[in-house]
Amino acid sequence: MSNEQELGITESKEYSPGDWYAEVVQKAELADYAPMGGFIVTRPRGYALWEGIQDHLDGWFKDTGSQNAYFPALIPESYLERESDIVEGFDPEVAWVTQGGHDELEERLAFRPTSESIITPFMSEWVRSHRDLPLRLNQWCSVIRWEATETKPFFRTKEFLWQEGHTAHETEEEAWDETMLRLDQYERLMEEVLAIPVMRGRKPAHDKFPGAHTTTSIEALMPDGKSVQSATSHYLGQGFAEAYDLVFTDADEEDRVAHTTSWGLSWRSLGALIMTHSDDQGFVCPPAIAPEQVVVVPIWQEDNREEVLDYAEDVAEDLESAGIRVELDDRDERNPGFKFNEWELKGVPVRFEIGPNEVEDEEVTVVHRPDGESVTEDRDDIAETTRDHFDAVFDKLYEAAEQNLEENVREAYEVPQILGTIGQHGGYVKTPWCGDEACETVVKDEIAAEIVMVPLDRDEEPIGEECAVCGDEAEETAYFAKSY
């Protein structure tokens, strides 16, 4: 098989999305499978995407009062046990360390499935007075949850990268505002950086974060009709603060229990990015986090090689000086067609083609990755022109994803409708719901779809008077979908 054939994607996004996704991840050099089931190796190109997400979120977090810290990856079992809901919620997924070197440990240590039980105790030591509040901490780290059965890189792995924020506040109102602030920032990341429109909601009571008062989330719809929980933000109430003695003295010298929040986004957002925008030619990436935003491909013959290369190098230097991430592909051993295919596979959003005609006319041929649209631009002010093309590429990606979402939110008012709609179309099905988990189970058992969210506003009227499953009075609207 030739290198050109090896480069190509052989699976179809439309007909075999799972195999297609795995092939894109590996051939675009984003990740490989680790020798242990459920784990992956993140390659430099994949990690660069995660760094791009970090760069955006970290700045926004710090601009709104959060500070980065780092806590141990291992948590004593006694710390976990102080919050019963955490123990019950995560115990089946916890990886335990029982031996250090040749010695049995006196107390089991859990590899963090989440860090409330190690961070909150230290927050309680650092907070004494209302003057110490609000306290906002964030850490970038990995967690392990022993739940993955079939590895899907970035979507489902036993170990995954994420950020987790933890805050303490004087009042419920302040803590709720914090919860919404972080949800807003996650929505901004998905929509303004990753070009993925999302829906906001909260989890039903039976599916909220263990120990939380309210779990809010953003959901993104994939082209195969499945939903991705892209990020969550939790108002934890006072339960964790009471369990770990997070108490402060208020302005009247009275002891009060703090209100806490936690919020997190994992590299599942990268899975959503890959699945949403990529195609049968390979990875497609929005310009804001692309490892290379522009690839410059010079096209020469022996008699004009030096002239074309000099011109291409000058163009690349102008872009680099303007802060644009650019790659000049001047390899002798590869022809232009191979280079085009390789960089399309790797997802570079904009390609510059420069041959003797461009040199003579002082122009650049610009090609968009999503659709191959080609336009000729003047060499002057090429950096500013390039940013315009970034905007155009972003708009194309967002509009396609937005159309997919808008066309795939449907209503249903009885179980056969719910099952038939999801079975035929996928997407989200809005239905009136009584609030009983048993009614979700009826649908889940039939078609493996679940309630991914309900409206944020608890006072919002349901779309129908009777629960679509049991016929009892509907309390709210449920959004059913299959999910990753």
- Cα dihedral 65→67→71→73 (10° resolution): 90
Distance CA 49, CA 115 (A): 24
Specify the DSSP class assigned to residue 209: P
Specify the DSSP class assigned to residue 413: S
Domains, in order of start, for the chain: 3-277 (3.30.930.10), 287-405 (3.40.50.800), 409-481 (3.30.110.30)
* 449 pLDDT more than 70: yes
CB atoms within 10 A of CB 248: 22
Tokens of 17: 């999305």
Strands 227-237 and 374-378: unpaired
Give the pLDDT score at 6: 64
Give the pLDDT score at 421: 97
The 10s digit of each residue's pLDDT in 163-185 is 999 999 999 999 999 999 999 99
Distance CA 396, CA 476 (A): 35
* 5 pLDDT more than 60: no
Give the pLDDT score at 58: 98
Tokens of 231: 């990020």
* 455 pLDDT more than 90: yes
C-alpha 12, offset from chain centre: 23
Question: Which residue in 153, 124, 178 sits closest to 37, CA to CA?
Answer: 153
Confidence grade of residue 310 (pLDDT, cut at 50, 70, 90): very high
- Mean pLDDT for the chain overall: 96
* 304 pLDDT more than 90: yes
pTM of the model: 0.95
Give the pLDDT score at 116: 94
Confidence grade of residue 7 (pLDDT, cut at 50, 70, 90): low
> Taking residues 340-364, what's their average pLDDT?
97
Sign of torsion, CA 382 384 386 392?
A: negative
Distance CA 28, CA 9 (A): 10
Give the pLDDT score at 1: 32
Give the pLDDT score at 83: 77
Strands of the sheet containing 74-76, edge to edge, are 74-76, 103-111, 95-100
At residue 259, what are phi and psi to the nearest 5 degrees? Answer: -105, 135
CB 473 within 8 A of CB 464: no
Confidence grade of residue 322 (pLDDT, cut at 50, 70, 90): very high
The 10s digit of each residue's pLDDT in 58-103 is 999 999 999 999 999 999 999 988 877 777 878 889 999 999 999 9
Over pLDDT 90: what percentage of the chain?
A: 94
Alpha helices (H) in 196-298, listed in sequence order:
239-243, 268-277
CB atoms within 10 A of CB 401: 24
> Taking residues 465-478, what's their average pLDDT?
98
Q: E strands, 258-312, where?
A: 259-266, 294-298
Question: Which residue in 230, 90, 200 sits closest to 146, CA to CA?
Answer: 90
